């Protein structure tokens, strides 16, 4: 896919594939095209060259059968000054799989005061209503652009809990975020974009098998350090997982490693172990 805004090139010959049953984390600096990619997938923007296929549909055609299976939660949004109930009455009919009971349960999880109109709510409360509605629509493709922006610490915990319970084998959820710590335990695949290219596209399982994330007071024994952050008591390291250790994947460290040392990361993931 190729995409540009006038003379500003955003994507140059990228190729990606997303499958149902997984949560994908789309990471990258601001302005690298994460939102552009999400909007292209749902048919709000159109590639200059190449094609996008979503469940057999061309998103640019915006066919009703396609639109009822895709929902996007944008980073910036507007909700009308109506009650939550009226918002549902006006919008739920467009999504045949919408589940009212699910929606009400999500609102309870998020502790949203449904007695207020949407414009009487805080930004965080509005966002939780939109997220609850998006999940209750049960579309096969759910796109979320910076969903944890504007949520407080407790709300982020609620979001992770709700999202973990919403995924199933029929749904594909793609989340664009720069707040990677908020989604660390949820993401199945990591895609990192930078300067119009896909720098990294791997499953968390593959990351765990190829890389080790360590804290060491003495790093002198490590000869192949891919990324390092020094602390007062030692160093946080990302190294090749040559010893088949099981370490917790740190998405923030992974992102920094990929962006600052892409050639070394490529070598690690292209290397086939000897049998």
What pLDDT is attached to residue 272? 55
Cα 244 to Cα 211: distance, rounded to the nearest angstrom: 9
CATH superfamily, with its number, for domain 3-195: P-loop containing nucleotide triphosphate hydrolases (3.40.50.300)
For residues 111 and 158, the answer to whether their CB atoms sit within 8 Å is yes
Beta strands 8-11 and 3-5: pairing type? antiparallel
What is the chain's pLDDT, residue by residue, as a tens digit (275 residues)? Answer: 667 777 777 777 778 889 999 999 999 888 778 888 999 999 998 888 888 899 899 999 999 999 999 999 999 999 999 999 999 999 999 999 999 999 999 999 999 988 889 999 999 999 999 999 999 999 999 999 999 998 999 999 999 999 999 999 999 999 998 888 888 889 999 999 887 788 899 999 999 999 999 999 888 888 899 999 998 889 999 999 998 988 999 999 999 999 999 999 999 998 755 43
* Run of H or E including 253: helix 251-260
Sketch the domain layout of the chain as residue ranges.
3-195, 204-270
User: First and final CA of the chain: distance in angstroms?
Assistant: 37
């Amino acid at each position: 896919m190729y995409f540009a805004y006038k003379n500003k090139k955003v994507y140059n010959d990228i190729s990606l594939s997303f499958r149902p049953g997984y949560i994908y984390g789309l990471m990258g600096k601001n302005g690298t095209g994460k939102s552009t990619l999400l909007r292209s997938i749902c048919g709000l923007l159109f590639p200059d060259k190449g094609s996008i296929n979503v469940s057999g549909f061309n998103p640019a055609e915006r066919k009703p059968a396609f639109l009822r299976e895709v929902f996007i939660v944008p980073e910036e949004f507007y909700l009308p000054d109506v009650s939550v109930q009226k918002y549902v009455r006006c919008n739920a009919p467009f999504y045949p799989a919408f589940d009212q009971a699910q929606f009400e349960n999500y609102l309870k999880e998020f502790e949203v005061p449904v007695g207020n109109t949407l414009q009487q709510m805080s930004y965080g409360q509005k966002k939780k209503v939109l997220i609850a509605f998006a999940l209750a629509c049960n579309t096969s493709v759910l796109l979320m652009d910076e969903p944890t922006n504007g949520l407080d610490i407790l709300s982020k915990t609620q979001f992770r809990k709700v999202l973990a319970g919403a995924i199933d084998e029929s749904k594909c959820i793609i989340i664009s975020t720069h707040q990677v710590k908020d989604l660390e335990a949820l993401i199945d695949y990591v895609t990192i974009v930078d300067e119009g290219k896909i720098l990294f596209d791997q499953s968390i399982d593959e990351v765990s098998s190829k890389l080790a994330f360590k804290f060491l007071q003495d790093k002198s024994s490590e000869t192949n350090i891919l990324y390092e952050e020094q602390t007062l008591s030692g160093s946080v390291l990302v190294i090749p997982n040559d010893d088949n250790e099981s370490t917790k994947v740190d998405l923030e460290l992974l992102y920094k490693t990929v962006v600052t040392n892409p050639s070394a990361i490529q070598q690690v993931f292209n290397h086939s172990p000897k049998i």
